[in-house]
Every structure is written in C-alpha cells, then in structure tokens.
Structure 1
Amino acid sequence: MSRWGLTIPLAGLPLAEHREIIAELPALGYTDAWSAEVSGADAFTPLALASQWGPELRLGPAIVPVFTRGPALLAQHAATLADLAPGRFVLGIGTSSDTIVERWNGIPFEEPYQRARDMLRFLRRALAGEKVKEAYATFTVNGFRLETPPAVPPPIVLAALRPGMLRLAAREADGAISNWLSPEDVRTVRGVLGEEPELLARLFVCPSGDAAEARAIGRWLIAAYMTVPVYRAYHEWLGRGEALRPMNEAWAAGDRQKALEVIPDEVVDDLVVHGTPADCRARIREYVGNGLSTPVLAIVPGGGLSPAEAVRALAPSAG
C-alpha cells in the first residue's frame, strides 16, 4: 500500500480544534500529515501538535522556504520536530517563490537553486551533530553546532518543479516534493528524478460531484499559483504553456476576471482532483499508479462537507 497523506491544518477548522481528527487519521488509513507555509499557519507549529495528537503519523513540512529562516534557525526547528517525533519526521525544504520571499518578506529571491543546494548540504551536517564552519555560495556559517542534535537525523526532501532541482534531489536529498501536476505529469517528473527516490506531491482535492462548483474553485486556485513565475515556468516545461497563455496575458493586463474565464476546463480537470469522494479516491490512485509515492491531500471545501467529513470521506479506508 502506498502512503496517504493529509495537509494540515484543514481549511475552515481552527488549529486548536484539530486534535480529534488528527488522532483518528491512522484508523482511517492516513499515514502522513504534512504542513505548508504560505500565508496561514507556519510550517512547524501544526506538526508539533500533531506529533502528540497522532503518534503513529509520519510528519513533515511541504515546504519550509530556504530563504525566510537563517540556516541555524532552520536546523533548530528541524531538530525540535525530530525530537518530538523520532524516526517519524521528514524535513521538506524548497525555494518557495519570489512572491513569498521577496514581496512578502523583503528578502531578495536570488540564486534559488544555489540557496537550496547550500541549505541542503548545511542541514545534513548540522542535523548529524557536526560543528559547521563553512562559506557556502549563498551564506556563511561560522561555528554553529546544535546543542542537542536529533538522535535520529531526519530525512530531507527537496521541492523540485523542473529538471535542475529534480536532479539535485536525486543526487543529494532523500526524495522530491512536487505540486500542481496531473497523473500523467508524474511520469514526466519520474523520468528526470528516477524510479528510486520518494516522490511526494500535494494534490488539491475538492470532493464535490458538482463539476461547475469544483471548476470555479479550481480556477481561483490555478490563477493564484500559475501566474507566479516559478509555476509558470514549471507548466511550460510540462507542456501547458499555450493552454495557460491567455490566463497569463489577462492577469498581466490586470483583468483578473478574464484570467479566470479563459482557463480551460481540461486544465482544471488535469490539476484539481474533483468529483464524488469515490471518484476522488480513484483519481488519487491514478497518481500512485503512475509513480507517486506519497499523495498529500489538500482538501478544498466543496460538496457541502465539513472539514472532518471530507477527511473521512476521502480516506483510503472509505473504499
């Protein structure tokens, strides 16, 4: 059986009210809980709570940006989670995007490939308990050592959307994290990453049998992501450049409504899992069949289900 992950916290459910559903996840067939870090909760606090509420779950952030925390602080965060969930924590890191790094945090989004490579190499050493004194290409660490390194250094997986980062993940990380892809795109990604490394992907899932409702929600999500340069380049590589060109042109012209209207149904259906819960589970299994090791469901409200009801309806144990 493949792994079956869930993104936490769930939309529409306050973090403090997650205890019951997180404790229930293993019985429902979920193996993993993965956080995110965009403009809501930070990446680590939900995992700290889940480490105590769901002691059987594997936990990880997907992802922590390598720009928005300094190297030592990021190592401290990772070591803390590894201590709370020994042998169950996986550190997911990535470049994030110019929007989050530069526009929201005021940090230059420069040399993202090099920054990810340098942070990956630093974290390997720091989490193994080494004293690190090295001038990397994008930062310098002068004599840092974790006070209490984790007894079990966590695996590190790297967000990778295009060939250069996928090859780096294959060479130096313990796996790769992708996002916004179709089941067929999994084969493309695997073609670069190789068959052996773990491949995780966050899948946006709307458990609604009303296709119009699901596509309307999906269009908002697609427009918000695919107009960001890193995702635009990613989908040009995957072959959707022309299909998304009208959306990008309308967005650049400031016509947000037109940008939504010109996203083809086929693109929404490719990238957003929707339909009845049974349809959604079948679609998720298509991803797994094409080589996805760990689907991580990001549940989008729809179908009249509460967050907890959606989690239960989409669980692998449900059918």
Structure 2
Amino acid sequence: MKLGYHLGYWGSGPTPGALEAVLEAERLGFDSVWSAEAYGSDAFTPLAWAGASTRRVKLGTNIVQMSARTPTATAMTALTLDHLSGGRFVLGLGASGPQVVEGWYGQPYPKPLARTREYVEIIRQVLAREAPVTLDGQFYQLPLNGGAGLGKPLKPTVHPLRADLPIYLAAEGPKNVALSAEICDGWLPLFFSPKADAFYRNALAEGFARPGARRKPEDFEVPASVPVIVHDDVEEAAGWIKPALALYIGGMGAKAVNFHHDVFARLGYEEVADKVQELYLAGRKDEAVAAIPTSLVEDTSLVGPAAKIREELAAWEDTVVTTLLLRGDAGSLTKVAEALS
C-alpha cells in the first residue's frame, strides 16, 4: 500500500508549514501529494506551487468541484499542470453537494451522475485532441445551443502531454462509486472503513462490469484520506479527529441531503449520525463532538500507539484501498511513516 500526503484546503489562510511537509513527503518516498477546495482556496494553485519544488511525487486534486469550472476550463488547467510537472498530474473530480453547488457556485445540482458523465466525456475529448470538441448533452453543449449562434467546435491549441491523463472520481454513494469504476481511472473515497469494504467492492464491481468500462480492478487506483495519529493515549488522539467528523456529519450538507451522514449510517452509526446532525444544526457543536464515540473514529482512522496502528493496518491492506492519504506537518509525517513501515 502506497502513502500520499493530503494538503487539504486552507482554513482562514495558507496552511503553515505546508511546503515543508510536501518536501518531507517526497523525501520519505510518498507516492503523491493532494490538494482540495471547498469555498475558499482552490485546488489547482497549491499543486502548482508544490510541483515547482518537487521532482517525483504525483500531484492530485482531491477534489476539484465540477460546478466551479466548465469542463474545458478544467481540462485546460489539467493539461497545463501536467506539462509543467512533467506528467505528474492526476485530476480528481467531484460533484460536491447542493449547498455548495447552488449556494456558492450558482449552478443547478440535480442529476449529478448524468452531469458527471458528460463532464468527463468532454475532458477526455480535450485530452485526446483527435478532433474539435463537440457534445450535444443535456447539461453541456459544445458548441452552445442558442446564444449568438456563432459557436465553433475547437480543439486545444496546446498538445496535451498525455491523452490518458488519469481522472479519479470522488464518490460516497454506491451509484457514484460504480460510475467511477466505469468511466474513470480511480475512486477517491472519504470516510472509508475496512468494515465497509464489501459494500464498496460490490459497487465498484458493478461499474467494472458495464460495457466499455475503462479499467479493470487490478489497474484501478483508490487513494483514501485516512487520519493517522500516533499517540500513546487512544482517547486523546481520537478527540483530535472528532471535531472534523462532527462538522462533516452534522454540518457539511442540508439535513435531508448530507452524503457524509449517510456513509456513517451505512456503517452502523445511524443513531449517532442523526444525533450529531441534530446537535450541530442546532448550534450545539461541542455536544455534537461529544456524541461521537471513539469506536466510530477507530473504524475510519488509525489512532493510538505505533504497535496498535501496525496491527490494525493489516485490515486496511486487505481492502480496495491502494494509497493511504495522510495529513499533518513534516514532523508528524515522519512519525506516521515510521509507524506504518
């Protein structure tokens, strides 16, 4: 199993020590470095910044929100970064949720799977550069239907470095996970647990079995963001993770449409997830954090003494996950890499 480093997205400003952590990740032999975006920092710029100081690690977005850019704009940035990095770029895409898509980007959210399919198809055409890009889709039309009526099919002036630049899809629900296996080169899970491995294997198998599926299981990548904290006190380590879990379970989505909540409900924590969401949306955030049991943290993270983490790592190695994406500063990366070795 490979290791990657996840920069995440910024808080109120740039993350202190991020470049030092990127350099340490490359020195330690990590396979990849990843960035993210929500409604603050963007995903592409930190990777360009990190790529200028590194030579080997892959550079991936986890994730670029599709509603933030047209498919061709995303493809242009991807091919640009791939050239500048010498073929190290990985494009991770995601639909996000209705609160961000409609509240921040002002784009419609319905039918995200069909929209994703069209989005990826356009990017593939740009990267292939075999002909002018055209699509008469439900969500995207190139050239545009209507308007001035003067649209012209175009292909990129820049020759992409790789026509097969890898595209990964972030997904939590079974239909979207299956779509990743059908049309993409990898899947980016969030809040993965070895206990849910069979559920996700079945979803991926459905996608691999579809006509025209792009990959087979043996050449499909699954980089999973997994909190890893090496600490003698399990409860204290779990306590550092619980506030982020409360945010995602309780506040990252509307009450009726929160995909993170649903992940934990499927994992057997439906009552906990409901309670956390109720408390969080009522503004009782401290109580929401306190309502998260340590067992939930341990099901989706690796926390505790190094010996405990090494023992539990075996369960992760038996899953579909191919890369563990770690977070933290340069010092913590070194400590975690030693614990996982």
Q: TM-score, normalised by structure 1?
A: 0.87
Once residues 186 and 318 of structure 1 are traced to their aligned partners in structure 2, the CA distance between those partners, rounded to angstroms, is 20
Q: For residue 74 of structure 1, what is the amino acid of its counterpart? A: T
**Deviation (angstroms), 1:206:** 3.1
Give the partner amino acid of 2:134.
Answer: K
Deviations 1:273-314 (A, max 9, x none): 322456445545532332311111133xxxxxxx11111111
One-letter amino acid of the counterpart of residue 321, structure 2: L
Structure 1 spans left out of the alignment, 5+ residues: 300-306
Which residue does the alignment assign to 1:193? Answer: 204
Whole-Å separation in 2 of the counterparts to 1:242 and 1:160? 23
Change (3 A) 1:18 1:186: same
Work out which of the two has the higher radius of gyration on C-alpha atoms and give 1 or 2: 2
Amino acid at match of 2:180: A
What's the CA shift for 1:247?
Answer: 1.4
User: 217, 226, 235: which one pairs with 2:264?
Assistant: 235
Kept in 2: contact 1:15–1:46 (CA 8 A): no
Matched, 1:288 2:313: no
Output one character per residue of 1:27-60: Cα deviation in whole Å (capped at 9) or x when no partner: 3131111111124532111211222322111111
**What's the offset of the Cα at 1:317?**
8.4
Q: From 161, 168, 172, give the equivalent of 1:161.
A: 172
Do residues 149 (structure 1) and 159 (structure 2) align? yes
Q: Give the Cα–Cα distance (whole angstroms) in 2 for the partners of residues 214 and 274 of structure 1.
A: 6
Please, which moves more after superposition, 278-287 or 102-111? 278-287
Distance 2:267 2:117 in 1: 23
For residues 166-211 of structure 1, the C-alpha deviation after alignment (integer angstroms, 9 at most, x for no partner) is 1111111111110112222234212321343221211123333333
Q: Would you say the 8 A contact 1:6–1:34 is kept in 2? A: yes
How many equivalent pairs are there? 311
Deviation at 1:115, TM superposition (A): 1.7
- The answer as to 2:112 corresponding to 1:112 is yes
The one-letter code matched in structure 1 to 2:110 is E
1:213 CA drift (Å) = 2.9
Matching residue of 1:304: none
**Match of 2:278?**
249
2:191 aligned with 1:176: no
2:133 is matched with 132
Q: Are the structure 2 counterparts of residues 135 and 263 from structure 1 closer, same or farther at C-alpha, using a change threshold of 3 Å?
A: same
How many Å apart are 1:75 and its aligned residue?
Answer: 1.1
2:334 counterpart of 1:312: yes
2:304 maps to 1:275: yes
Query: Which deviates more from structure 2 when the two are superposed, residues 289-298 or residues 251-260?
Result: 251-260
Q: Compute the displacement of 1:145 (Å).
A: 2.2
Moved more, 6-15 or 115-124: 6-15
Q: Give secondary structure in 2 for the equivalent of 1:77.
A: helix
The amino acid across from 1:190 in the alignment is R
- Give the conservation status (yes or no) of the 8 Å contact 1:71–1:122: yes
More moved, 173-182 vs 6-15: 6-15
Query: Taking every aligned residue pair, what percent have the same amino acid on both sides?
Result: 30
> Which amino acid in the other structure matches residue 229 of structure 2?
C
* Mapped partners of 1:264, 1:296: distance in 2: 23
CA distance in 1, matches of 2:4, 2:305: 19
Please state how far the C-alpha of 1:67 moved relative to its aligned partner.
Answer: 0.8
Q: CA RMSD in A?
A: 2.6
Letter in 2 for 1:166: V
TM-score, normalising length: structure 2: 0.82
Is residue 2:44 matched to residue 1:44?
A: yes
Question: 1:229-272 CA distances to partner (integer Å, 9 max, x unpaired)?
Answer: 12122333344323322212323444333322222221122123
Partners of 1:102 and 1:249 in 2: how far apart?
23
More moved, 249-258 vs 159-168: 249-258
